[in-house]
């Protein structure tokens, strides 16, 4: 999706890894919470308290879920799922953009 319309957006951003990963939280008209963000080149570790779907909207990343042993690549249009209470490692060689959906 290229455009989200009629959303409520948090003014304060989410800033991780000394500003190398940033996002903004918003809620759709249906009440679904999402974030849209940018990741600079690097390697990062994240955990989640809810189910999370991370869609890559630009660029490419490699991901290793806590339950997995190998890195899996995702590029524009690809996505991966992280269960509630899960964690993952993610890395990228160039700028990557993403949308996360939470449930």
Render pLDDT for 68-93 as a digit per residue (tens, 0 to 9). Answer: 889 999 999 999 999 999 999 999 99
DSSP, collapsed to helix, strand or coil, labels residue 82 as strand
Q: Is 2 part of a structural domain of the chain?
A: no
Max Cα–Cα distance, the chain, nearest Å? 40
Structural domain containing residue 84: 8-102
Tell me the chain's radius of gyration from C-alpha atoms.
13
Render pLDDT for 23-74 as a digit per residue (tens, 0 to 9). Answer: 999 999 999 999 999 999 999 999 999 999 999 999 999 999 998 889 999 9
Tracing tokens 């890195």 back to the chain, one arrives at 71
Q: Is 86 part of a structural domain of the chain?
A: yes
Q: Is 63 part of a structural domain of the chain?
A: yes
Q: Is 59 part of a structural domain of the chain?
A: yes
Q: Is 3 part of a structural domain of the chain?
A: no
- Give the pLDDT of residue 1: 60
Q: Band the pLDDT of 103: cuts 50, 70, 90.
A: very high
Task: Report the domain count for the chain.
Answer: 1
Q: Is 24 part of a structural domain of the chain?
A: yes
Cβ-count burial of 27 within 10 angstroms (0-12 exposed, 13-18 middle, 19+ buried)? Answer: middle
Average pLDDT over the chain reads 96
Q: Which CATH number goes with the domain that contains 74?
A: 2.60.120.10
CA distance 99 to 85: 19
Q: Is 1 part of a structural domain of the chain?
A: no
Judge if pTM exceeds 0.75.
yes
């Amino acid at each position: 999706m290229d455009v989200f319309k009629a959303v409520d957006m948090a003014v304060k951003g989410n800033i991780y890894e000394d500003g190398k990963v940033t996002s903004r939280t918003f809620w759709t008209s249906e009440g679904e919470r999402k974030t849209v963000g940018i990741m600079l080149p690097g390697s990062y570790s994240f955990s989640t308290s809810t189910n999370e779907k991370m869609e890559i909207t630009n660029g490419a990343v490699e991901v290793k879920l806590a339950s997995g042993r190998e890195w899996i690549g995702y590029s524009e249009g690809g996505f991966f799922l992280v269960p509630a209470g899960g964690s993952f490692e993610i890395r990228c060689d160039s700028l990557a953009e993403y949308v996360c959906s939470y449930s």
